[in-house]
Structure 1
Amino acid sequence: MGTNTTTRDEILGRLRDASRGELPKRPALPPLVELSWSREHLIEKFIENLVEQTAVVHRCKDYVTAADTLTEIATLHRLHKVLASTDGIIETLNLRAWAEKAGVNLFFARDFSDRDSYKDFVFDGAEAGITGVDYAIAESGTLCIVHDKNQPRLVSLAPITHIAVVPVERIYPVYEQVIENVFGKDRPPHSHVTFITGPSMTADIQGVPFKGMHGPKRLIVILVG
């Protein structure tokens, strides 16, 4: 017992007394070329990477045109029951008027009196979810949604089709900028943040890909601006 204690103390003493070498300096990161992209090039790269992830992209000059495009999408995919968020972007679209004109039954989370009926509709009733996005990332074609009472998480994750409305001014070149905006110092904490790159995709043991196993099978992005 005494010998073991002495040996242990001796080893710990040597470790304490050992000189600590300085950690090697981390090499400087190369400048991010994406930061020098023009606004139009940024948009082009965002679209290119979205399409590469099998998303469908429509670019519209304003919200009036975006509403017309939404009608075309609803007709093409035979959408009759749609769930939407109530974030600022969606409020700008005035979806109540759009749905009445397009002959679409539109629902919001606040229309449901209890959680069970809401969940049943989200998973089994809604044919599409329509949301705005907080940020978009050009380098990967990624959408970022910060969830709150106006942006319920299931609207973008549960229906088979997710329609995202993205103002072009919300497109950022790289992940680092969005991470700083969402999680940076002095930023308010968020309960849920979702990053979306294309439709939900998974594969079986043989590597055969499947869409829609754990989320929307179809991602449609309406770019405004």
Structure 2
Amino acid sequence: MDTSIARRNILARIRAAQGREPEPSVSEREAAADYLARHPQGPRPEMPSDLTTRFIEEAQKMATTVDTVETLDEVPSAAHRYLTEHALPLQAIAWQTLQDLQWAEAGLNVEFRKPEDGDVVGLTGCFCATAETGTVVLLSGPETYASASLLPETHIAIVPASRIVSGHEEAFGLIRSERGELPRAVNFVSGPSRTGDIEQTIVLGAHGPYRVHVIVVRGA
């Protein structure tokens, strides 16, 4: 469901209550961009030149399992290998942006739709990933539905090495430069869902997937 019109109307009402025009003017947008450019960043850890290795190391610390392949064509076989090794179903739902990959040839039954009750595996790509924390960044859209990474018990994310950036600051900068504005949902996934609310005991899968598996594509 596209909620962009509803969001625009809500923001327009807020701006009207403030005595401003419904849409931001060019000068307002330029002022916001100037502020972001000049705003000082806080202390940050030094990043290595090899962001891919750093991303993998940090992702594994967060209980994400990681596999690496050289090309996108190898992704379906890597996904099949992971599911087989963990005795998981060879059926999955996936983002529509992944339809060109040869899933059936790899022995997987993949449907390109939003998840429903009973769907155990969700396949997604990503917008980018951050090396500092081993985080996968997902942007929602008509073909990249957020539910694919949230509802199934197992989330498999495809991460092109070329889309690994240093940290969250670079991730948001990339969103602004490539998309212009934030979509309805921006999800930062750092390993399986977890909670420690009950007796400070960590429980996985409390609010989302029990498992997060990342396939890093070094040549993409």
Q: Which TM-score applies when normalising by structure 2?
A: 0.74
Q: 1:114 maps to what in 2?
A: none
Q: 2:190 maps to what in 1?
A: 197
Structure 1 segment 4-83 matched on structure 2, within 5 A = 33-34=46-47, 37-38=48-49, 41-76=50-85, 77-83=87-93
Identity value in percent: 30
**Does 2:146 correspond to 1:153?**
yes
CA RMSD of aligned residues (A): 2.4
**Does 2:99 correspond to 1:86?**
no
Structure 1 segment 125-144 matched on structure 2, within 5 A = 125-144=118-137
Give the direction of change, closer, same or farther, for the CA distance of 1:209–1:62 in structure 2 (3 Å limit): same
| The one of 163, 178, 195 aligned to 1:170 | 163
Contact kept in structure 1, 2:99 and 2:112, CA below 8 Å: no
Contact kept in structure 2, 1:83 and 1:130, CA below 8 Å: yes
* Aligned residue identity for 2:54: K
Which of the pair has more CA radius of gyration? 1
* Distance (Å, rounded) in 2 between the aligned partners of 1:27 and 1:150: 35
Q: 1:106 maps to what in 2?
A: 110
Give the direction of change, closer, same or farther, for the CA distance of 1:66–1:185 in structure 2 (3 Å limit): closer
User: Structure 1: which 5+ residue stretches go unaligned?
Assistant: 1-25, 110-117
Which string of whole-angstrom CA distances, capped at 9 and with x for unpartnered residues, describes residues 125-182 of structure 1? 2120000000100000011111100101110110000000000000001111112222
* Structure whose residues are more often helix by fraction: 1
Deviation >3 Å, runs of 4+: 26-32, 183-186
Q: 1:4 maps to what in 2?
A: none
Contact kept in structure 2, 1:80 and 1:127, CA below 8 Å: no
The alpha carbon displacement at 1:186 in A equals: 8.2
Give the direction of change, closer, same or farther, for the CA distance of 1:91–1:108 in structure 2 (3 Å limit): closer
Give the direction of change, closer, same or farther, for the CA distance of 1:188–1:105 in structure 2 (3 Å limit): same
The alpha carbon displacement at 1:102 in A equals: 3.8
* Aligned residue identity for 1:72: R
User: Structure 2: which 5+ residue stretches go unaligned?
Assistant: 1-38
Give the direction of change, closer, same or farther, for the CA distance of 1:188–1:203 in structure 2 (3 Å limit): same
Number of residue-to-residue matches in the alignment: 179
* Distance (Å, rounded) in 2 between the aligned partners of 1:186 and 1:105: 32
The alpha carbon displacement at 1:32 in A equals: 5.7
Give the direction of change, closer, same or farther, for the CA distance of 1:75–1:179 in structure 2 (3 Å limit): same
